Structure 1
Amino acid sequence: MTINIQKVSQMRRLVTLVVSAAIVAGAYFIAFDVPASLGVSSDIQTEGGQREGRAAKGPSQAGRAGGPRGARATTVVLTPLQMQPYEDILRAIGSADAVRSASVISNVSGDVIETNLSANKDVTVGDVLVQLDARTEMYNLEIAQAELEQARDKVLRYERLLASGNSSITDVALAEARVAQRLAEANVGLARVALDDRTIKAPISGKLGLSDVEIGDTLSAGSAIVTIDDAEALLVVFELPERSVGLLDKGQKVLTSTPTYTGQVFEGEIVSFDSRIDSVTRSVTVHALIDNSDGRLWPGMSFAVRIVHESDPLAVLPSTAITWSRSGSSVWIDNNGVAEQISAAILYRRDDQVWIEADIAPGAMVVSEGAQKLRAGSPIVAANAAKGDPVVGGQDAVPARAELKLGQAESQQAISTEKPI
């Protein structure tokens, strides 16, 4: 009885080992396919009615899976490297000022007796704008002129007496008379300045703004009278970010537009910019000059400013071509059917394109899709190539259709050697 129990136990162990080995073998065959050496084949009915055997995977199939003839080719999308300039567009919002403007202010106080301050009137330099009451200043000028004439006569008399040898006139007396004459001349000059200040004139040529000064008003010193704008050209003031400093240059063209004239573009040029970056806004102030000889644009208008900077032709690729690693960004190129990794520095990025700096010849085929699956030296095949027999594994690889025929031949040989049951 004990012997039977032991035999049953041994049989169970044997069955367990056989089942385990079958499971392991099945898992291996599922993962790695059936080795060709086992001669396992399956029948395939051909169009001619003959049955062909298909080997599990022959030597050629093993070569495609990583044998000495090359690894399985990775399907990628290739894009030719193109050279295009990069357009960097700087945008800003600014306001316009007249290239020359002046605020007319009264230097003295007085009563207004005459005005020429019609709004939007064109004036030239020296035109009278406001006349103040100047009677006091006129009288002061007459007094100063009379004193000057008296001082001159005294100097002439002293000079004649001294020249005739009259001892009553000394050199000191003559010098004092001459000093008095100079003081009288200065008083006349002051009186004339005071009289001129009563007449307020246009300091520049341009167009008058609004003014509320009327006849009969009393102005005090420092009172604002009117503004004058010379709008033959406008100065647009705007700010650009710090990154634009290297792109600024005097004479550079700018494109401006205003909501007043929708769809129209007014060209100008940069005439000046600040020498330092604002510590708060981190921007630089720029002045651009716009011609306004037709008078359509007004000072104070808001403008949208664009500055277009075009670089030299650079290598441009889809952004999907860039791969990243610890060493930085890079791209993969097709080097005779083999993947080669090239370091690439990204210079600019816009939408789905990047401009790079890399040691790649223009026109080279670059992997734009599928680069994440590649390793150095991996064979590649283009998914977007022309229709035909795809070549895998580089120059020494066997065409896929040839491998299929080779596999079929091996299968037929295996079938012919099988013994009928």
Structure 2
Amino acid sequence: MSKGLKFSPLLFAVILCLGLVVYLYMPKEESQQANQSGATFVKVHKVNQEDFEVVVEALGTGKANESVFITTQTSDIVQKIHFDDGDLVKQGQLLLELNDVEEKARLAELNVNLQEALKQLKRIKNLAKNNVASEQLLDEQLAKVNVLNAQMDVAKTQLDELLVKAPFDGILGVRQISVGALVTPGDVVTTLDDLSFIKVDFDIAESHLASVALGQKIRATSVAYPGKVFEGQITSIASRVDPSTRSVQIRANIKNEDLKLRPGMLLQILLQKQVLQTLVVPEVVLVPVEDKQFVFLVKGDSVALVEVKVGRRKPGKVQILSGLEAGDLVVTEGTLKLRDGSKVTFDLANSGE
């Protein structure tokens, strides 16, 4: 029975059909097709002339537009606190009151004395009109009134010094004191920063000095906000070149309406130096040989190893100064399998142009 099955024409026909189906429907990769034709399948890129931005990179530290430590002008006990940590405040807003009992009592005493002196002055003026009081007595009383007015002004100033107010609009830091604490001039109550825009100082090499100007745009990034670009402009250029580093200090302002940037942040600055119209290719097409750079240039159904002169670079791209022309096809993937004159096949639709 097994012998009949082995040589059965029907079984042979079934096996033959299955083999034919597998052959017809088996996926054929480009690489298999290339091997059958004796060529290597590669990916190519069409060389184009495009904008190539030349930028100067630098590092800078953010600074607040205005920044102060809030302190008191006199020594006294904290009576009232009118702010919380991180409050947004306006210029002139009351932040802190010190003990003012003595100053208010002094002011009240001076006010009583002033009112009495004014009554006496009025009485003496009436008597002087009738030649009952002398001019000297009138002058003495007028001087007394002026002295009391001056003392009142001093007392009011001393009373104002017990009130701590915001010198400008901004955001407060962490409160460093409590009610009942004795504070003296120089003791930090809190910090106040105007963060409407951030100043950033950075240095560039003197070779780039001719490429910067007031009002020029800059871009800044921070590790705190990956992918976020903050735009600003140059507001000042130092008048001197540092002789030890041969660098120039630049200051730029960055708008900070959403208050994301904070003083002390490390910012990476990108300053656009110029925009070139030039040939640009992906950096992966380069084949380094010793101190020279080559590319595989597609010519018909084969490639030629061509030397190129490269210019400026930026991540993933490189400027080509000579060796290629616009419209040339260069190999981006598969270069390790190639040699000068190798046969290739490629799909232009996936050339990455």
Asked if Structure 1 and Structure 2 have the same fold, meaning a TM-score greater than 0.5 normalized by the shorter chain, the answer is yes
Query: Which string of whole-angstrom CA distances, capped at 9 and with x for unpartnered residues, describes residues 217-260 of structure 1?
Result: 10012221111122222122222222333222221100111111
**Counterparts of 2:242 and 2:104, CA distance in 1:** 53
Using the TM superposition, name which of 274-283 and 139-148 deviates more. Answer: 274-283
Q: Which residue of 2 aligns with 1:145?
A: 111
Q: Which residue of 2 aligns with 1:70?
A: none
| SS in structure 2 of the partner of residue 156 of structure 1 | helix
- 1:111 paired residue among 54, 77, 84: 77
Q: Which residue of 1 aligns with 2:99?
A: 133
Which structure carries more strand by proportion?
A: 2
Query: Which string of whole-angstrom CA distances, capped at 9 and with x for unpartnered residues, describes residues 32-91 of structure 1?
Result: xxxxxxxxxxxxxxxxxxxxxxxxxxxxxxxxxxxxxxxxxxxxxxxxxxx998854222
| 1:107 and 1:197 in contact (8 A); partners too | yes
- 2:253 paired residue among 273, 289, 297: 289
Percent identity over paired residues: 27
Larger radius of gyration: 1
Tell me whether 1:100 sits opposite 2:66 in the alignment.
Answer: yes
| SS in structure 2 of the partner of residue 259 of structure 1 | coil
Distance 1:153 1:93, change over 3 A: same
| SS in structure 1 of the partner of residue 224 of structure 2 | helix
- The alignment covers a number of residue pairs equal to 243
| 1:102 and 1:204 in contact (8 A); partners too | no
Query: Which string of whole-angstrom CA distances, capped at 9 and with x for unpartnered residues, describes residues 295-338 of structure 1?
Result: 22222211000111216879xxxxxxxxxxxxxxxxxxxxxxxx
Distance 1:138 1:279, change over 3 A: farther
**Counterparts of 2:237 and 2:69, CA distance in 1:** 24
Amino acid at match of 1:125: Q
Matches within 5 A, 1:28-43: none
Structure 1 alignment gaps of length 5 or more: 1-82, 315-347, 356-362, 364-421
Structure possessing the higher relative contact order (Cα contacts under 8 Å, 6 or more residues apart) = 2
**Counterparts of 2:67 and 2:245, CA distance in 1:** 28
Q: Which residue of 1 aligns with 2:242?
A: 278
Q: Which residue of 1 aligns with 2:192?
A: 228
**Counterparts of 1:146 and 1:115, CA distance in 2:** 31
**Counterparts of 2:110 and 2:242, CA distance in 1:** 55
Structure 2 alignment gaps of length 5 or more: 1-48, 279-309, 326-353
Q: Which residue of 2 aligns with 1:169?
A: 134
Tell me whether 1:90 sits opposite 2:56 in the alignment.
Answer: yes
| 1:85 and 1:310 in contact (8 A); partners too | no
* TM-score (normalizing by structure 2): 0.61
| 2:212 and 2:273 in contact (8 A); partners too | no
Query: Which string of whole-angstrom CA distances, capped at 9 and with x for unpartnered residues, describes residues 104-143 of structure 1?
Result: 1110110112223422122223332222111111111112
Distance 1:279 1:156, change over 3 A: farther
What is the alpha-carbon root mean square deviation over aligned residues? Answer: 3.1
| 1:96 and 1:236 in contact (8 A); partners too | yes
- 1:303 paired residue among 264, 267, 275: 267
| SS in structure 2 of the partner of residue 276 of structure 1 | coil
| SS in structure 2 of the partner of residue 146 of structure 1 | helix
| SS in structure 1 of the partner of residue 189 of structure 2 | strand
| 1:141 and 1:191 in contact (8 A); partners too | yes
**Counterparts of 1:90 and 1:120, CA distance in 2:** 36
Amino acid at match of 2:268: A
* TM-score (normalizing by structure 1): 0.52
Distance 1:103 1:222, change over 3 A: same
